[in-house]
A = this chain, B = another copy of it.
Amino acid sequence: MRNLDSQETYLSDMSGLALELRDLVGSGPNPDQAYLPPYGVVGFGEGWWAARLARRWLNHELTPQGTQFVLEGGYDLGEALGAGLYAEAGGAQIVRLGLHENDEVIVAASALSPYRYLRFLLLATGQPDELARVDQALLAEREHLRPEVFTDRNPAKFLAYNLLERVPLWVVSERYGGLAAALQQTLARIGKSLSITPPPSGLEFFVTALEGSFPGDGEVAKHQQGNELAAVVIGDDERTRLAVEILEPRVDTVIELPKPPVEGLLAESLVYWYRVAWASYYLALLKGIDPGDREDLANLREAT
C-alpha cells in the first residue's frame, strides 16, 4: 500500500491540487459593486450546493426585484439560460457567475468552486462576518489536514486509508441540508470514487437495504452487501445516533467525523466539506491516480 507520509506518493498530484486545497481561503472572484436587495439565487452544476447553502440567509430562489444571482457552474445544458428563469426574474438585475467569458463574474471550473461561489455570495449580500467565520474555521482545519501532518494526527489521511477498498455511505444530520450530496460529488471529482447517499427516509433505508447482511438471521441468504461499506457519520442528533446503531452490525466500519470546533451551520458545513475534499485528495493518491481533473471533464463542459 502507498504511504501518505512519504514524498513519492505525491508524484501522482500532477495538477498540483494540494496547492489549490492549501490556498483555498480567500480565493475566487470579489464583487466590484454593491448589489441591491432583495436577493435571489439559483445554482447549477458546480454551483448547486453554494446556492442551497445561500438559502440559509437568502430567502428567495427567484426574485423579481433587486438582484438575481445565477450560479451557472457548467454541465447545465443551457438550463441556467432558460427563458423561464429570466422571465421570472422580471426587473431584477441578473448577475451570472460561471465559466463563460460573457458571464458577469468568472468562476473557473474546479472541484473547489463551491467555496468560491459561496464566498462571492457572502460578500455580495453583505455577510462579511459570516465569511470571516467560515474562513477562520477553514484555516484552522487546514493545519490538521495538510500533507506535512503525519497520518497519526491527520484526520483526512486517516479517513482516506479507511475509504480505500470501501464504498462510503454518507450518514449526515438533516441540519446540514445538501451536504451529503456535496460530499458524494467531491469524493467523485477528486477521489475518483463512488459513494452512496440515502433517500429522505434514511433510517428505513439503512434497515432494509442491508437486511440480508444482518447477523444471526439463519434462514435469510447472506448476500453480504454491507461487507465493503464504510458508513461516514456527520452530526450528532437522535437520527444519526439511531443510524449508527442500525448500521454498526451491517457495514464493515462506521467512521464518525468529529464536530469541528466552530459555531454556525455554514462554517460547520464548509469544514466537513473541506475535510472530505482533502480525504478525497489522499484517496486518489493512495490509488495512484492524479486527483486533478481529467480531459474528459473539460470535454463534457464543452458539450454542455
B199 touches A211 (CB 8 A): no
- Pick the residue among B185, B208, B220, B221 that contacts A204 (CB under 8 A): B185
List, in ascending order, chain B residues with CB within 8 A of A225's CB.
193-194
List, in ascending order, chain B residues with CB within 8 A of A212's CB.
192, 287, 289
List, in ascending order, chain B residues with CB within 8 A of A221's CB.
287-289
Residue of B nearest to A183 (CB): B199
List, in ascending order, chain B residues with CB within 8 A of A297's CB.
204, 207-208
A220 touches B304 (CB 8 A): no
Cα distance A238–B294 when bound, in Å? Answer: 23
What is the minimal beta-carbon distance from A142 to any residue of chain B, in angstroms? 24
List, in ascending order, chain B residues with CB within 8 A of A178's CB.
200
B184 touches A208 (CB 8 A): no
- Pick the residue among B185, B196, B204, B300 that contacts A45 (CB under 8 A): B204
Q: Which of A176-216 contact B (CB under 8 A)?
A: 178, 181-182, 184-185, 187-189, 192-201, 203-205, 207-212, 214
A300/B211 contact (C-beta < 8 A), A199-B181, A199-B185 known: no
Residue of B nearest to A51 (CB): B200
| Interface range for A | 35 or more
A242 is an interface residue with CB less than 8 A from chain B = yes
Cα distance A194–B251 when bound, in Å? Answer: 12
Cα distance A69–B287 when bound, in Å? Answer: 50
A263 is an interface residue with CB less than 8 A from chain B = no
A205 touches B220 (CB 8 A): no
- Pick the residue among B182, B200, B210, B304 that contacts A48 (CB under 8 A): B200
List, in ascending order, chain B residues with CB within 8 A of A192's CB.
208-209, 211-212, 223
- Pick the residue among B193, B205, B246 that contacts A185 (CB under 8 A): B205
Q: Which residues of A are interface residues toward B (Cβ below 8 A)? A: 44-46, 48-49, 73-75, 77, 178, 181-182, 184-185, 187-189, 192-201, 203-205, 207-212, 214, 220-221, 223, 225, 238-239, 242, 246, 287-290, 294, 296-297, 300, 303-304
